[in-house]
Structure 1
Amino acid sequence: MNLYAIWHKSHSEYSYHINDETIHLLLRTAKNDIKEVTILFGDPFYWTRDEKNKKYRWDMKDAKMELKYQDELFDYYFIELKVPTKRIRYAFLLVDYEGKSLVYYSKGFSEVSKALESNNLNFFFNYPYMHEEDLNNTPSWVKDTIWYQIFPDRFCNVDNPSQHDWNNTYVRNNEVYGGNLKGITKKLPYIKSVGFNGIYLTPIFKANTAHKYDTVDYYQIDPSFGTNEDFKELVKEAHKLGIKVMLDGVFNHAGFFHPYFQDVVKNNENSKFADAFVIKKWPAVDFDYDDYTIFAQSQKNINYETFATTPYMPKWNFTSKTTEDYLLGVVKYWIDEYNIDAWRLDVSNEISFEFLRKIKKAARESNPDIYILGENWDQALPWLGGDQMDAVMNYFLTNIIWDFIDLKITNIEFKNRLTHYLVGTPKNIINNQYNLISSHDTERIKSRVDNDMRRVKIAHVLLFLSHGTPSVYYGDEIGMEGKQDPNNRRPMIWDESKWDIDFLNFIKKLIKIRKKYHNYNSEMKVLSHGDVLVLKTSDLRLIINNTDKEQKLSIDNKYLDVLNNKVLDFSEIKTIKPFDFYILKKE
């Protein structure tokens, strides 16, 4: 028995409650090392008295765990337990293939007889109490949302003159093309017609750049986008169509020309906003500045902290009462006055945990149904404990899909990576994650695979049939191209003669398939990973040939091809074309 491989931790991805009476427990062991695992558990305060010897014994129960996952190194055993008393102590009884058995608990390992005879429950793992208020309590509407991400300046221009040609295929971040809120409102019926029921807008508040991540006034819509009333109209019309609206909250940093920071530049230590930013030494700004010279300070040792090494984005000080009052006021204002449905928090992993808690509390005070999404590029469990954010942009899954369609990993590596993801993502979180394969921060999926629409389709199949809320970046649905920022931010193509209609219809079908067949209580599982990848997700089977060669199929029986709505007899279909796939339901 390989003791070094055995691992469990209470209150982690290996131990969490999904409601106030149900707990999920996971145990890791070495691959093919353990024959069976039994969990020993009970309420630590429930004891029975033996009438013969007059001694009390703990009322311990047991249950077999399921071998749920396996990767290249480990097996993972899982169980869901009902705990009516909301308290549980537990340990694991392990039996290997040679018949050797041990009990694993929080203090290490013990012989079975000693563990069962002991009345010292301090050795057992402990989950003291399952508080409902410690759960994420993510709004129920989130898991049913299919998001459409919009970069407002490049989406649709209605009566908004610009010196730049909307048809440009080479763009810069300092170019304003005139996309505006009226343009988004105008295109809401199009968004609805594809099947999207949520829009995520990158920043729309007053700022100097086209991307607006350098906020100057958090209470004003940028004039290039329109007015606050234009935004109110957009939200009203979106809600009429059943479309949720998510705003981008840039609360990690402000813009250089935000009036608070300009006051600091002018008055230094004597500014009433001196503690609102993270100033390393005075004077805060010791260089003459205009747009060019500010940018020229990048990666230099300046006197204030910033986002990355970007001098025109000074970092807020989250311990400042001035900062707290101002930013929490912003959070509540757009909920209270404009009825938005969600906040996406930019650079959320660089905002303090304590301030994130305050953001969530303030938002939920205004509307208990608000969704709080974070921009974290890694596994983000410390941020997803229920007290800070509901979900993050799910780059944990994104990177697996990217590497798969980039042909950087084999089917077996895909299976192992998917296992790591499923093990590392608690089931009370996974359905609320924001899944994506393109965004304003990444190259477009079509350009990533050198315009090979076969691989683009495979990527979208994995996106839409994974658990979590899928998102499409504006224009991806019609086959737009674009490498890294800023080239991924080209103006939306509205000339339908230039659309990939076949792919647009494909996206519409995927959305309908997801709505009809998605089972929130299941998860994606690899059934076979030879030359052809076979996956099970919800009640569907995915057959994927992610190679440039025709591959043999070893599938029998008849299945419904749900994408094309026809029955296929696989006793007559013996091969699958390069970079082809099936989405099937058993007849």
Structure 2
Amino acid sequence: MRQNTSSPRASLPFQCFHTCTAPDVSHTNAVLFVRGANHSRLKISIVTFTENEDHQNLMTYTGSYSGIHRFEAPLSADKSRNLFIYYFKIALMNEENKVVDVVWYSSLGMSREPPLMQHCYSIEFFNPHPQWALDSIVYQILPDKFAASSGYFNVDGTKYDATEPVKAKDLEFVDLDEIHCGGDLDGVGAMLPYIRSIGCDTIYLTPVFKAPSANKYDTEDYDMVDPHFGGNGALKRLRTVALGYEMKILLHGTFNHTGDAHPWFDRQERTGKGALRHKDSPYRDLYTFTSEGDVYVSDNHPNYPKLDYSSYTTQHAMFDGTNAIVKKWLRAPYGIDGWVIDDANQIGDNGSAKNNITRLSQLCKSAREAHLDCLVLGEFASDPRYAISSDGNVDGTINYTGFLSPIRSFFGGINLDGDPTPYSGEDLRRCCEEFSVGVSQHVKLCLLNQLDNNRISRFHTIIGGDKYLYQAALACLFTWRGIPCIYQGDELGDVIDKYQVGPRGLIPFNALKDRHVSVNSAETQGIISELASLRHSNPAFSRGSMLFICAGGAYFGYTRLFEDRFAIVLVNASRQQIKVEQGSMLFPLLASMYMPEDCGTDNSADTGEDLLIPLSGRNVRRSDHGEGLEGLYELLSREKLNVKSYGSTKTNPEFEAKILKELFAGKQLTIPPRSTVVISNKK
């Protein structure tokens, strides 16, 4: 089976599960569990790489239990790099000890051919990522539209009280994207007790540096917090308040481009020495110009001239100088805790993304020199795996491909561009598994997961305002692998649609703080608080591996595994209950949790031979009833388990007893409609 699912391949005879993926587990040994053939017929090798050359080492059989066989081998690493990649080769022998079939097992799953290098398992021997980030729950803020220290918003000279939502008709002729509305960092500071109370311990601010626009992506001065937000002093004050609540601060860095009002570029000719109009400008080499004198820009925005990182001047200003931008804000008195790098895939030389991975690494290295434990994330418009899978680069990324896009398509049937893209549970599983292939577990835990952000339509709106689906999706957000991130207003519930609060709409912050926006909003706030507590109660959510165990039309399920802690998450987006055949889908959980370290050798001739599909292809079994796992299910029944349901079915003793009875029987699981069920063990 694949790394992240228990679905067996129809043409292959085994189920395999590799456990050497969770962090803080010794990387000296690789362990592989196999079922479906007698251990005496298996010859398994681990294939590792040294200087891009593969080496095979035979694995040692170390015992069997309930038809599951364990094989182990030491990991011999290429010491020249921290990232270590490997896969497994499984040969089936006949009675004469001759090979009759060979399969390969990698992060992509089983195959009839050796996997490509990018499909291999990968681990990092030294974990370079900040450990505080794994336990974080983030709240993203668009400062201008979030909270004002004055107690009200000021929109084009009109004051709007924040004790209740602003009606859409009151703003009918106002483009909120074009004007400042009065939100500031002191207002953010006043809201920190509220943000902490719903379980979030990190705030992530969209761009705050001085810029003409309301969104601040067109930076005019990297050394100054915008006066609309309170200037540099406001960020110092926010830092002080955040420290009092033991909260972290992340800033969004637009390091790929400046705004055209920046003195370096100076389209408005304020300084008389800007790069645009003066070829002898001292800032000319910060940008790239065509022979016709046109500047290269980012995302086709004429007011976003791209920085040229091949220039020493750019390097000195952005990351190489003593007081370079990426360093300055990480140091006292501001002391922020990390960066989210805007357009990370576009940063590069000569008006292009040339040498992108090198420039990203230089930015990250500089940031870590200023603050060793800082978090550096990238926002990538394209596949980010080339960067997150390289040494010394970003810790993670905004997880568009591996969470945000497939989750929105599954629950709302609409992709990030607003196109109708109805996803089945199988589509979601495939998308998320393929994205995670070859990425190290440490990096996967640093991916930032969201339902919403300031760039896309509200999730609550695309699901038609269905509060039960919304609650089910929130449960996915908090139990998924990676860092959960609430976007401002996610907790407004039905108010989002009733008052048409868009992704950049005004937040009724006083009402939000007092939890009296609406009954549904208060319920949503309570659910977010409960999910935050649930996440903190079990390290499997913040540090565990994630494996899909089932998927179908309107449902999917996954497990989270870490040391002796686990969780099973079952999601149903349809309007009727769904029954899922368990079979051997919990084989990875049962094997990793309950297979004893000192299990002995099973010398019976047919151990496990009748569990899965015969190699001959004749008499193929059409169903997998999970034979041989009964003893492990009995051990599972001894666990103290916590059952929570989010959506149309609420947690109650009767429901808890029913689903646990089904779970322990190992036959069938019933997922209630429009709900996410979370079953986790307690210690």
Place the TM-score, normalised by the shorter chain, in its bin. 0.7 to 0.9
Matches of 2:24 and 2:681, distance apart in 1 = 33
Which residue pairs with 1:541 in the alignment?
Answer: 568
Aligned mate of 1:515, from 536, 540, 544? 536
Q: Which of 426, 447, 450 lines up with 1:436 in the alignment? A: 450
| Corresponding position of 2:274 | 264
Q: Is the 8 A contact 1:148 1:473 kept in 2?
A: yes
- Could you tell me which residue of structure 2 aligns to residue 221 of structure 1? 225
Q: CA deviation at 1:448?
A: 1.6
In 2, the alpha carbon distance for the partners of 1:425 and 1:243 equals 29
Question: Alignment partner for residue 335 of structure 1, among 330, 334, 356?
Answer: 330
Q: Deviations over 1:364-417 (max 9, x none)?
A: 111101111100144322212232211110112222211211252223333333
Distance change in 2, residues 1:424/1:394 (3 Å): farther
Taking the aligned partners of 2:459 and 2:325, their CA distance within structure 1 comes to 34
- The counterpart of 1:578, out of the listed 673, 678, 681, is 673
Who is 1:401 aligned against?
407
In the alignment, which residue of structure 2 is the partner of 1:118? none
Aligned to 1:561: 643
- Larger mean CA deviation between 16-25 and 314-323 belongs to 16-25
Match of 2:287 in 1: 277
Whether 1:475 and 2:489 are equivalent positions in the alignment is yes
Q: Which structure 2 residue ranges, 5 or more long, are not aligned? A: 1-10, 13-19, 63-69, 106-115, 161-165, 267-272, 348-355, 414-421, 583-632, 663-668
In percent, how many aligned pairs have the same letter? 24
Distance (whole Å) between structure 2 residues aligned to residue 412 and residue 459 of structure 1: 17
Counterpart of 2:516 (choices 494, 497, 506) is: 497
State how far apart, in whole Å, the 2-side matches of 1:353 and 1:346 are: 14
- AA matched with 1:513: L
2:358 alignment counterpart:
354
Deviations 1:201-228 (A, max 9, x none): 0011100000000000111111111121
1:310 aligns with 2:286: no
TM-score normalised over the length of structure 2: 0.66
**For residue 251 of structure 1, what is the aligned residue in structure 2?**
255
The one-character-per-residue Cα deviations of 1:103-129 (angstroms, maximum 9, x if unpaired) are 989xxxxxxxxxxxxxxxxxx99xxxx
User: Distance between the aligned counterparts of 2:579 and 2:47, measured in 1?
Assistant: 48
Q: Does 1:147 align with 2:138?
A: yes
Relative distance call for 1:280 and 1:514 in structure 2 (3 A) is: same
1:410 aligns with 2:424: yes
> Does structure 2 retain, via aligned residues, the 8 Å contact 1:560–1:586?
yes
Instruction: Give, in angstroms, the shift of residue 172 of structure 1.
Output: 2.9
**CA distance, structure 2, for counterparts of residue 488 and residue 513 of structure 1:** 27
Q: Deviations over 1:491-542 (max 9, x none)?
A: 1123243241111101111111111023155333333335754432342222
SS of aligned partner of 2:326: helix
**Kept after mapping to 2: 8 A contact 1:560/1:566:** no
Which amino acid counterpart does residue 335 of structure 1 have in structure 2? L
SS of the residue corresponding to residue 229 of structure 2 reads coil
Which blocks of at least 5 consecutive residues in structure 1 are unaligned? 7-14, 46-57, 66-77, 106-123, 284-302
Within the candidate set 333, 341, 344, 1:345 is matched to 341
Moved more, 80-89 or 474-483: 80-89
Q: Is contact 1:16–1:23 with CA below 8 Å preserved after alignment? A: no
Deviation at 1:327, TM superposition (A): 1.6
Task: Report the Cα offset of residue 331 of structure 1.
Answer: 1.0
Q: Give the distance between the partners of 2:49 and 2:571, measured in 1 at CA.
A: 47
Q: Within 1, Cα distance between the matches of 2:367 and 2:529? A: 33
Q: Check 1:261–1:92 CA distance in 2 against 1; reply closer, same or farther (3 A cut).
A: same
Residue deviations 1:169-211 (CA, integer Å, cap 9, x gap)? 4543111100001100111111111110000000111000000
Contact 1:374 1:391 in 2 (8 A): yes
Aligned residue number for residue 457 of structure 1? 471
Q: Deviations over 1:14-46 (max 9, x none)?
A: x9997998389899xxxx9xx96711568999x
Select between 474-483 and 548-557 the one with higher mean Cα deviation.
Answer: 548-557
Query: Which stretch of structure 1 is more off in the superposition, 379-388 or 414-423?
Result: 414-423
Is contact 1:22-1:80 (8 Å) kept?
no
Cα separation, 2, equivalents of 1:154 and 1:489: 7
1:387 to 392, 396, 402: 392
Q: How many residues align?
A: 507
User: Is the Cα contact below 8 Å between 1:415 and 1:529 reproduced in 2?
Assistant: yes
Tell me the SS of whatever aligns to 1:487: coil
Q: Which has the higher contact order (CA 8 A, sep 6+)?
A: 2
For 2:544, the aligned partner's letter is S
